[in-house]
Structure 1
Amino acid sequence: MAYDLSMELIHATVQLEQPLGDGTRTVGTGFLIEAPTPDGKPRVVLVTANHVFEKMPGQDARIGYRVENPDGSWTYTPALLKIRDKAGHELWTHHPSRDVATISITAPPEFAKAAIPENWLAEDQTFTKLEVGAGDEMMALGFPRGLAANQAGFPILRSGRVASYPVAPAKIFPTFLLDFSVFPGNSGGPVFMSETGRRRVGAAAEAPTQFIAGLLTQQVELNSERLEIGIVTHARFIRETIALLDNAAAPVTTASTDVVAGARAASAEEAASPD
Structure 2
Amino acid sequence: MVMDLSVELIHATVQLEQPLGDGTRTVGTGFLISETAPDGQPRTVLVTANHVFQKMPSANARIGYRISNADGSWSYSPQPLKIRDPKGAPLWTQHPSRDVAAIAITAPPEFARAAIPADYLAADDTFSKFQVGAGDEMMALGFPRGLAANQAGFPILRSGRVASFPVAPAKIFPTFLLDFSVFPGNSGGPVFMTDNSRRRAGAGGEAKFIAGLLTQQVELNNERLEIGIVTHAKYIRETLALVSDPAAPVTMAAGERTTGAKAASAEEAVAKN
Shorter chain as normaliser: what TM range? over 0.9
Contact 2:93-2:239 within 8 A present in 1 as well: yes
Letter in 2 for 1:91: L
> What's the offset of the Cα at 1:201?
4.5
**Runs of 4+ that moved beyond 6 A:** none
Q: Which has the higher strand share?
A: 2
Deviation string 1:18-46 (CA, Å, 9 cap, x unpaired) is: 00000000000000000111232010000
| Local SS of the residue matching 2:234 | helix
What one-letter code is carried by the residue in structure 2 that aligns with 1:143? F
Other structure's SS at 1:43 match: strand
Three-state SS of the structure 2 residue aligned to 1:245 is helix
Q: Does the alignment pair 1:105 with 2:105?
A: yes
* Percent of matched pairs sharing the same residue: 75
**Structure 2 residue 257 is matched with structure 1 residue 259:** yes
State whether residues 179 and 226 of structure 2, in contact with CA within 8 Å, keep that contact through their aligned partners in structure 1.
Answer: yes
Q: Is 1:114 paired with 2:77?
A: no
Distance 1:197 1:227, change over 3 A: farther
| Counterpart position of 1:81 | 81
Distance 1:187 1:202 in 2: 33
Runs of at least 5 residues in structure 2 that lack an aligned partner in the other structure: none
Instruction: Indicate if the aligned counterparts of 2:196 and 2:206 stay in contact, CA closer than 8 A.
Output: no
TM-score by length of 2: 0.98
Residue deviations 1:192-238, cap 9 Å, x none? Answer: 0001487x74333x422100000000000000000000000000000
Structure 1 unpaired stretches of 5+: none
Distance 1:22 1:197, change over 3 A: farther
One-letter amino acid matched to 1:112:
A
Q: Distance in 2 between matches of 1:66 and 1:127?
A: 33
Partner of 1:186: 186
Helix, strand or coil: the match of 1:78?
Answer: strand
Give the Cα–Cα distance (whole angstroms) in 2 for the partners of residues 255 and 59 of structure 1.
30
Q: Does structure 1 retain, via aligned residues, the 8 Å contact 2:30–2:46?
A: yes
Alignment TM-score, normalising by the size of structure 1 = 0.97
AA aligned opposite 1:224? N
Q: Following superposition of structure 1 onto structure 2, how do residues 148-159 of structure 1 map, counting pairs within 5 Å? A: 148-159=148-159
Q: Number of residues paired by the alignment?
A: 273
1:185-204 alignment runs, 5 A limit: 185-196=185-196, 201-204=200-203
More helix by share: 1
CA contact 2:91–2:103 (8 Å) conserved in 1: yes
RMSD: 1.2
Say if 2:130 and 2:200, in contact at 8 Å, map to a contact too.
no
User: Which amino acid counterpart does residue 157 of structure 1 have in structure 2?
Assistant: L
User: C-alpha distance in 1, partners of 2:123/2:146?
Assistant: 30
Per the TM alignment, residue 246 of structure 1 is displaced from its structure 2 partner at its CA by 1.1
Q: How many Å apart are 1:124 and its aligned residue?
A: 1.9
